[in-house]
Amino acid sequence: MKVNGNIQSIKDKVLQELEDLYDKKYGSRDLVPEELALTITRISAEINREISVLLNRRGVVVDISIGDSGTVTLPQVDGRRGTARLSAIRCIHTHPNGSGMLSQVDASTLQKLRLDAMIAVGITDGQPSDIYAGCLNHEEGVDIYGPFEIRDTRLNYIYRIIEELDASAKNEIYENEEEAETAILVSLETSQSRLENITSRDAQESLEELEELAKTAGAVVVDKVLQKKQTEDSAYYIGKGKIEELSLMCQARDVQLLIFDDELSGAQIRNIEEMTKVRVIDRTTLILDIFAQRAVSKEGKLQVELAQLKYKLPRLVGMGTELSRLGGGIGTRGPGEKKLEVDRRHIRRRITGLEQELKHLEKRRQFLRSNRTSNNTPVVAIVGYTNAGKSTLLNRFCGSSVFVEDKLFATLDPSARQLTLSDGREAVLIDTVGFIRKLPHDLIEAFKSTLEEAVHADMLLHVVDASNENVSMQISVVEKLLEELGASTKRTILVLNKQDLVQEDRRISSVGYSAVCEISAVTGYGIEQLLEKITEGFMHQLKEVQLLVPYNDGWVMPYIYKNGRIIDQEYEEGGIKVKALVKVEKVSRLTDFMVV
Give residue-wise pLDDT tens across range 459-470.
999 999 999 888
CA distances in angstroms from 544 to 52, 473, 567, 587, listed in the order given: 78, 41, 9, 9
3-state secondary structure (DSSP) of residue 140: coil
Share of the chain above pLDDT 90, in %: 28
Q: What is the pLDDT of residue 375?
A: 59
Range of the domain at 278: 180-373
Do residues 365 and 392 share a domain? Answer: no
Instruction: Examine the domain organization and report whether 147 and 161 are in the same domain.
Output: yes
Residue 471 lies in a domain: yes
Coil vs helix vs strand at 248: helix
User: What's the average model confidence in pLDDT over 150-178?
Assistant: 69
**Domain identity same for 253 and 337:** yes
The verdict on 255 and 348 lying in the same domain is: yes
- On the question of pLDDT at 172 being above 90, the answer is no
Residue 337 has pLDDT above 50, yes or no: no
d(CA 514, CA 505): 21
Q: Is the domain of 321 the same as that of 396?
A: no
Residue 441: Cβ-neighbour burial (10 angstroms; 0-12, 13-18, 19+): middle
Once rounded to an integer, what is the mean pLDDT over residues 459-482? Answer: 90
Pair (185, 331) in one structural domain = yes
- Looking at the fold, whether 428 and 571 belong to one and the same domain comes out as no
CA-based nearest residue to 61, from 12, 106, 26, 9: 26
Residue 561 lies in a domain: yes
Residues 6 or more apart from 438 whose CB is under 8 A from it? 206, 262, 283, 284
Do 418 and 553 lie in a common domain? no
Lowest mean pLDDT among 18-27, 175-184, 241-250, 259-268: 175-184
Residue 175 belongs to some domain of the structure: no
Residue 583 is predicted with a pLDDT of 82
Instruction: Say if residue 279 is in the same domain as residue 213.
Output: yes
Q: Look at the chain and report how many structural domains it folds into.
A: 4
- pLDDT tens across 120-132, in order? 999 998 889 999 9
Pairing of strands 459-465, 4-5: unpaired
For residue 374, what pLDDT band results from cuts at 50, 70 and 90?
low
Which DSSP helix (H) or strand (E) runs through 34? helix 34-47
Task: Say what the pLDDT of residue 169 is.
Answer: 60
* Weakest-pLDDT range from 260-274, 358-372, 400-414: 400-414
Residue 443: how many other CB atoms lie within 10 Å: 23
Name the band, by pLDDT with cuts 50, 70 and 90, for residue 192: low
Return the pLDDT at 41.
Answer: 94
**277-309 pLDDT per residue, tens:** 888 999 988 888 888 777 777 777 888 888 888
Quote the CA–CA distance of 190 and 120 in Å, as a whole number.
Answer: 49
